A = this chain, B = another copy of it.
Amino acid sequence: MEDRYRNVYYTPLTPLSFLKRSAHVYRKETAVVYNDKRYTFQQFYERVNRSANALHTIGIEKGDKVSFISPNIPPLLEAHFGVPLSGGVLVPINIRLNPGEMAYIIDNSDSKVLFVDTAFRDNIEQIKDKIPKIKEIITINDTTECEGLEYEEFLKMGSKKEVEIPVKDEYETITINYTSGTTGFPKGCMYHHRGAYLNSLAEIIEMSLNQYSSYLWTVPMFHCNGWCFTWAAPAAGAKSVCLRKIDPAKILELIESENITHMGGAPTVWIMLTNYAQKMGIKKFSHKIIITVAGAPPPPSLLRVLEKMGAEVRQVYGLTETYGPHTICEWHSSWNKLSFEERAKRKSWQGVPYINAEVRIVDEEMNDIPEDGKTRGEIVMRGNNVIKGYYKKPEKTEEAFRNGVFHSGDIAIVHENGYIEVMDREKDIIISGGENIASVEVEKTIYEHPDVLEVCVVPTPDEKWGEVPKAFIIAKSGTHLSEKDIISFCRERMAHFKCPKRVEFVKELPKTSTGKIQKYILREREFAGREKRVS
């Protein structure tokens, strides 16, 4: 009998249903703000439908990939609904990557159409011959203009007729988000509609979003689809305030003019913002703001300032493979009585699973580690908030999904109240300003320099970025390498943020008896005197 009435009691879970509903419920309320542009939910929905219809006219069919190179401006937000509504799969690309890296993702994802903000148009010119699968390039004229089919013209090609949600199976792919990974080759995390839907509901719950909320786009939409807020904010009926780049003056202005209630980002963003606010004599926001912090735990000094300014910090932890945030330091009202120091300590914990997540901290035999605040274990996840695999990389999926769980590679302890604290990032990953950098990738680039004998890249603490890459190099004898040489060499070959900020020339590197470099020794030396690596 169940199957007979499936059409009545089953709807595939998809975030596309959220915008359809919000366009009905909040039709005349503001959905999107960007500079002098303001779209109501009805207008936003109309643009999304035009986008889906226009994608059909240029040949996008079910399952086709559509790449986007864009900062946090309306077209990318629209793409999160428009592309899947057309039946396509969205591939949002990190705008800080270099042209070669962008080419790899565009080609590896089999994208047929590419949308690119004109600020990045030159990058594409350089790689035109490396992306032969692209049939159409649409440019987004925001800060500058250029030739070719422009986004607003493209929208006009599509009718505003409501497109029927094309999802039949909730496990269909909705987006592919590339992570830098440890091998240096980006891996495409396949998000499905069900996961995106459930994670959006979880973000609404964990971040207390509702129709009175005003969400400022400080988190890049190309990072885990803006931690799923691309779908969650419109779902809640919240206003999305777009932001082309992180600019403290602009953020402070928008907080007041758009009555911002929610924003998110790495501690570095908030250090920058509060420093600027102090410089300008701004002591308090005019209203309460919920700030989601991820990437690294917020230092006590920052927490103190934010608290004084009227912000509530909610710390989260997750990975691209878990649709972004996956654990949260859920607060207890009974903790409000604690001293500031004790509260700050707890706020730095990554906490507990999201309401719909499953997390374990395990030893090498996959046993749960004790809740003793000492023993270290690996953070592993499973369930509806885990990707369905890496696109076209079955061996990487197999490796990450061994033992029936997703292996984060991150190391944590579990406190006596069950709350986790991340002690080490994935061994070989450097987290700089919220961006993941694979040290192996940096090493590989440096190894290409003819004068380098051996290299090892580890994170080193940095006041502004949290961590930056530092290279330990053994130069070939008879050569005259300088720090500047290495940095310039890297900058020509990689995104700048991935390049080492410091270089130390050494005579030897610590090694195991079998000759493997003991990276952790160098890492620990860099972080000597600190309680844990991430700071």
Contacts and interface: CB of A to CB of B under 8 A. Distances in A.
A35 interface: no
Interface in A477-501: none
Contacts of A509: none
A260 B417 CA distance: 26
A384 B8 contact: no
A171 to B, nearest CB: 6
Q: Interface extent on A, as a size class? A: 35 or more
Interface in A14-69: 17-18, 21, 24-29
Contacts of A2: 171, 388-389
Contacts of A10: 383-384
Contact of A11 (B235, B237, B382, B394): B382
A212 interface: yes
A387 interface: yes
Contacts of A8: 382, 386, 401, 404-406
A119 to B, nearest CB: 35
A1 interface: yes
A2 B173 CA distance: 11
A330 B24 CA distance: 11
A210 interface: yes
Contacts of A29: 332, 334
Contacts of A204: 205, 355
A210 B353 CA distance: 15
Interface centre among A9, A17, A28, A171 (most CB of B within 10 A): A9
A235 B354 CA distance: 11
A201 interface: yes
A235 B202 CA distance: 12
Interface string A155-179: 0000000000000000100000000
Interface in A183-209: 192, 195, 201, 204-205, 208
Interface string A383-427: 110111100001001000100111000000000011000000000
A83 interface: no
Nearest to A205: B204
Given A7-B382, A204-B355, 18 more contacts: A1-B397, A5-B389, A8-B382, A8-B386, A8-B406, A9-B192, A9-B195, A24-B418, A25-B353, A26-B330, A29-B332, A205-B210, A208-B208, A208-B210, A211-B333, A212-B333, A235-B355, A237-B330
